[in-house]
Structure 1
Amino acid sequence: MSVAEHLGLDDPDTSDLMHQAQRRWPDWAQEDPRLAGLPGPLQVPAWTLAADRAQADDVLHALASLAAVDGGNDPAAATTLCWSLLPAAVSVANELRGLTPSVDEAVAAQLWVEVRTFPWQRLRKVAANIRANTRVGVLRQCDDRPLGRPVDRTWSATCPVDPSAAFWAGMNDPSCFEPEAAAADELVDVLRWACTRDVISSEDRDLLLSLMEAAARNPVGRRRRGGEGLMSNALSEEVARGWGVSPVTVRRRTRRSVQALAQACRDGRYSDAA
Structure 2
Amino acid sequence: MSVESELGLVSNLESTIVAAWPSWSIAQPVLNLVDDPRRLREWLQEADPADADDVVYGIAWLASTEGGRDCEAAQTLAWLLVPGSAFLASRLRTLSVDIDHVVAAELWLLVCTFPLQRRKVISNLMWDLRANVLAACEAPATLQRKDPTWYATVAFADSDLMAAIVDEPDPSSFDELVGVLDWACDHHVIAAADRELVLMLVEASQHLRLRQTPSHGLLGNDATTTVAALLGVCDRTVRRRFRRTIRALTEAAPAYTRAA
For the criterion TM > 0.5, the same-fold answer is: yes
Q: Tell me, yes or no, if the aligned pair for 1:210 and 1:239 is still in contact at 8 Å.
A: no
* Structure 1 residues 127 and 234, CA gap change in structure 2 (3 angstroms): closer
In the aligned structure 1, how far is the partner of 2:123 from the partner of 2:132? 14
Contact 2:152 2:174 in 1 (8 A): no
1:116-162 CA distances to partner (integer Å, 9 max, x unpaired)?
00001x1011101110111111100111237xxxxxxxxxxxxxxxx
Equivalent in the alignment of 1:129: 124
The Cα offsets for residues 203-256 of structure 1, whole Å up to 9 and x where unpaired, read as: xx4xx43676533x99x9xxx9959x97448982699544999x99xxxxxxxx
Structure 1 pair 83/74, CA: closer, same or farther in 2 (3 Å)?
Answer: same
Unaligned runs of 5+ in 2: 158-162, 182-194, 200-245, 250-260
Find the residue that maps to 1:70 and give its secondary structure.
coil
CA shift in 2, pair 1:40/1:3, >3 Å: farther
User: 1:32: how far off?
Assistant: 1.7
Name the residue aligned to 1:236.
Answer: 177
Aligned pair in 2 of structure 1 residues 142, 243: CA closer, same or farther (>3 Å)?
Answer: farther
Question: 1:272 aligns to what?
Answer: none
Return the letter of the residue paired with 2:8: G
Q: What is the aligned-residue RMSD (CA, Å)?
A: 3.8
Q: State the structure with more CA Rg.
A: 1
> 1:12 is paired with a residue of what secondary structure?
coil
Q: 1:244 to 1:111 in 2, by over 3 A?
A: farther
Which residue of the partner structure matches residue 11 of structure 2? 12
Contact residue 33 and residue 55 of structure 2 kept, 8 A: no
Give the Å deviation of 1:70: 2.0
CA distance in 1, matches of 2:150, 2:54: 31
Query: What does 1:30-179 correspond to in 2, within 5 Å?
Result: 30-39=26-35, 41-120=37-116, 122-145=117-140
In structure 2, the CA distance between the partners of 1:73 and 1:243, relative to structure 1 (3 Å rule), is farther
Contact 1:3 1:104 in 2 (8 A): yes
- Letter of the 2:177 partner, please give it: S
Higher relative contact order (CA 8 A, sep 6+): 2
1:43 match: secondary structure = helix
Query: TM-score w.r.t. structure 2 length?
Result: 0.58
Letter matched to residue 7 of structure 1: L
SS of the equivalent of 2:65 reads: coil
Distance in 2 (CA, whole Å) between partners of 1:212 and 1:60 is: 24
* TM-fit CA distance, 1:105: 1.0
Q: Which amino acid aligns with 2:132?
A: G
The CA deviation at 1:26 is 0.7
